[in-house]
Amino acid sequence: MNTQPTRILIVEDELPSQRLLKNMIVELRPDWQVVATTTGVEETVEWLQNNPHPQLIFLDVQLSDGLSFEIFDQIKPQSVVVFTTAYDEYAIHAFKVNSIDYLLKPIRPEQLEESLKKYERLMLTLTPRIDLSELKNLSALLQEGKPTYRNRILVPAADGFLKLNVRDVAFFHSSQKVTTALTHNQQPHIVDMTLEKLEEELDPDLFFRANRQFLLHIDAIQRIETWFNGKLVVKTRPEADEKIVVSREKARSFKDWINR
């Protein structure tokens, strides 16, 4: 009988979720080993190419550089996979294929315990295999009807154009019919798009239209202050040249957006 501790890889791009899952595993199975944590498709493929494959992988579905299913286009892990996902219940049934299990975020200890027990039962009876065709079907299902959002903007430069990644933008500001994107490292870029058009094409989980002048990225928001008549004042980093005011009518939806 194999008495070696189970080796685990955690693939999760949100560091708080990564730490929480690791801590729960250590608490529930202190003799098991979390041998590595990775945060994206490319990093995970590189790790699997250069290290012995673990017995168990906890794999977030949506990573910063793509869907985790792309990993299996490049390498076939000899591991049991437990998916972690924030997707709604409509797609959850698709995760129950062969040896694959899933954990719906936010993960609770009792959920994790059930997955660990399922893994232990599987290891007593068979060597699980990953059905790659099922994973491709699942990938298509999850993306079906899922809106796509703009990731890049072409902006003018002195000798041509630059590619501006949306994730690098702290906020968009409109003044005198000119839209400017200010990056997190305080670099301004003129953008040939209105705030209305940007609002339509950018991910609403990341950007909020604070008012007629500002479209804010969630990571730029540092502090929210109450103002008169139920209005809010938003402090950003980098700091805007003028006060960013959210109206009383928008204050509730803005706070709900922050608190997701």
Cis bond leading into 156, ω under 30°? no
Tell which CATH architecture fits domain 7-143: 3-Layer(aba) Sandwich (3.40)
Of 51-60, 120-129, 178-187, 235-244, least confident by mean pLDDT is: 120-129
The band of 93, judged by pLDDT with boundaries at 50, 70 and 90, is very low
Lowest mean pLDDT segment, chosen from 1-15, 69-83, 96-110, 243-257? 96-110
Sequence-separated (6 or more) residues with CB below 8 Å from residue 141: 91, 94
**pTM for the structure as a whole:** 0.52
In this structure, which amino acid lies at residue 123? Answer: M
The segment(s) of the chain belonging to CATH 2.40.50.1020 are 152-258
pLDDT of 204-224, one tens digit each? 889 999 999 999 999 999 999
Answer with the residue of higher pLDDT: 200 or 170: 170
Q: What percent of the chain has pLDDT over 70?
A: 84
Average confidence score pLDDT of the chain: 85
CA separation (Å) from 73 to 45, 53, 97, 132?
Answer: 10, 16, 18, 9
Q: What's residue 99's pLDDT?
A: 40
Greatest alpha-carbon pair distance for the chain in Å reads 74
Cα→Cα distances 202→151, 182, 197, 207, Å: 8, 15, 9, 7
pLDDT tens profile 138-181: 666 555 555 668 889 999 887 788 899 999 999 999 999 899 99
Superfamily of domain 152-258: LytTr DNA-binding domain (2.40.50.1020)
The reported pLDDT for the residue numbered 3 is 60
Residue 140: the pLDDT is 61
Confidence (pLDDT) at 89: 47
Of 4-13, 54-63, 91-100, the poorest mean pLDDT is in 91-100
Q: Is the pLDDT of residue 90 over 60?
A: no
